[in-house]
Amino acid sequence: MFPFRSKIDPFSTFTINLGPLYVERVFDSLLTIEGVKSVVQMNASERSTLYLDYLKSNVNVHNHTQYAITQFYKGHFSQQLAAHSINQETSRHFQEKALCYYQDYLELAEREEESRYYAQWQTGILQDVLTYPWHMAEDSLQKAAALDTLRGEATKKIVEHYTNTLEWKKAYIHSKTAVEKYLNKNPVAHRHWFVDFDAYNWSVLNRHYKICLFNTFTHGQSTSETIAQ
């Protein structure tokens, strides 16, 4: 069993707010202190498995804050395992686990921090990947957008869905929001959990222009009128 070391605290706001790469380095340090050799030379799957084992060995159900953050980390590391799984069945297994952990975290979390936005955003992403009804995924994504007005990734996902399903009027509503709220407003200086640059750069306008064109073809409204709205 790995005892926690007070000098390296993976559950502090400072650690979480510096983002996933810093979090992983903290866990690498904790494992190294406990005698796990060459952890930084392991592949992503091996390291994520060790991180999860560490958390399972040190879960503290009596410390509400620590227990809540443990669920967040379990969600993140399970999702990393899913991303690096060789077969689809294993990947889906870890995606389901990640979704459950994120949902637990969202129920337990007390502070409005970036980790809460990330968990809510990834809840929507995972629900969509796991073919949950779209209205559930969209609700999760809209909740994420409301949690952090600087982050545009959740809105980008909604736009992409309605573009893929050729629902141009719905795509337009969310795309217009993306242009107004996120274009050229990349929050990377203040946010660290997987900021997607395409949710803020020229891609936002490019997607919106495409949607406006299809609105023209589908509904007979001119592109200039659509863009002006």
* End-of-domain residue from the set 94, 129, 148: 148
Question: For residues 70, 107, 192 and 42, what is the CA-based torsion angle, rounded to 10 degrees?
Answer: 30
The answer on 122 and 167 residing in a single domain is no
Whether the pLDDT of residue 65 is over 80: the answer is yes
Q: How far apart are CA 182 and CA 207, in angstroms?
A: 13
The answer on 97 and 6 residing in a single domain is yes
More confident residue, 137 or 13: 137
Q: How far apart are CA 154 and CA 147, in angstroms?
A: 10
More confident residue, 13 or 72: 72
Q: Which of 21-30, 105-114, 141-150, 198-207 is predicted with the least confidence, judged by mean pLDDT?
A: 105-114
* End-of-domain residue from the set 115, 148, 181: 148
* End-of-domain residue from the set 148, 176, 193: 148
What's the sign of the alpha-carbon dihedral 201, 193, 153, 113? negative
Q: How confident is the model at residue 7 (pLDDT cuts 50, 70, 90)?
A: low
The answer on 219 and 191 residing in a single domain is yes
The answer on 221 and 163 residing in a single domain is yes
The count of domains in the chain is 2
Whether the pLDDT of residue 225 is over 50: the answer is no
Q: Specify the pLDDT at position 195.
A: 96
The answer on 144 and 154 residing in a single domain is no
The answer on 32 and 126 residing in a single domain is yes
Whether the pLDDT of residue 6 is over 90: the answer is no
Give exposure, 195-213, as e/b (b: 16+ Cβ within 10 Å).
bbeebbeeebeebbeebbe
Q: How far apart are CA 77 and CA 69, in angstroms?
A: 12
The answer on 87 and 22 residing in a single domain is yes
User: What is the residue range of 113's domain?
Assistant: 1-148
The answer on 156 and 194 residing in a single domain is yes
The answer on 218 and 135 residing in a single domain is no
pTM, 2 dp:
0.87
Residues in the chain: 229
Question: For residues 172, 174, 175 and 180, what is the CA-based torsion angle, rounded to 10 degrees?
Answer: 120
The answer on 138 and 169 residing in a single domain is no
The answer on 69 and 173 residing in a single domain is no
Q: How far apart are CA 114 and CA 191, in angstroms?
A: 7
The answer on 130 and 170 residing in a single domain is no
